[in-house]
C-alpha cells in the first residue's frame, strides 16, 4: 500500500463517525431549542395569567374600602 492509499482509507474511515456526530448534533440542538422556546412561551403565558388575576383582584380591593366607608356614615 502506498502512503496515499493509507491516507485515503483513513480519511474514508472517519466519514461515518463524522456523519453520525453531525446528525446527533442537529437532533440535540433541535431538542434544546424546542425546550427553550417552550419555556419561553410558558413563561409568557404565566405572566399574562398573573397580570389578568392581578387586574381582576384590584377592582375588588377598591370596592371593599368603599363598601366599608358607606356603613360608617
Q: What is the pLDDT of residues 11-66, one digit of tens each?
A: 999 999 999 999 999 999 999 999 999 999 999 999 999 999 998 887 655 555 55
Determine the 3-state secondary structure of 73 from DSSP: coil
Position 71 pLDDT exceeds 60: no
Q: How confident is the model at residue 73 (pLDDT cuts 50, 70, 90)?
A: low
pLDDT at 58: 79
What pTM was estimated for this model as a whole? 0.58
Higher per-residue pLDDT: 35 or 67: 35
Report residue 22 as a C-alpha cell: 453531525
The Cα 6–Cα 21 span in angstroms is 23
The Cα 67–Cα 73 span in angstroms is 11
Amino acid at each position: 500500500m502506498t502512503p496515499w492509499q493509507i491516507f485515503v482509507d483513513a480519511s474514508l474511515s472517519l466519514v461515518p463517525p463524522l456523519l453520525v456526530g453531525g446528525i446527533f448534533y442537529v437532533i440535540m440542538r433541535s431538542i434544546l431549542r424546542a425546550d427553550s422556546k417552550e419555556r419561553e412561551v410558558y413563561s409568557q403565558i404565566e405572566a399574562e395569567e398573573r397580570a389578568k388575576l392581578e387586574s381582576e383582584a384590584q377592582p375588588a380591593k377598591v370596592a371593599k374600602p368603599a363598601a366599608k366607608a358607606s356603613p360608617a356614615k
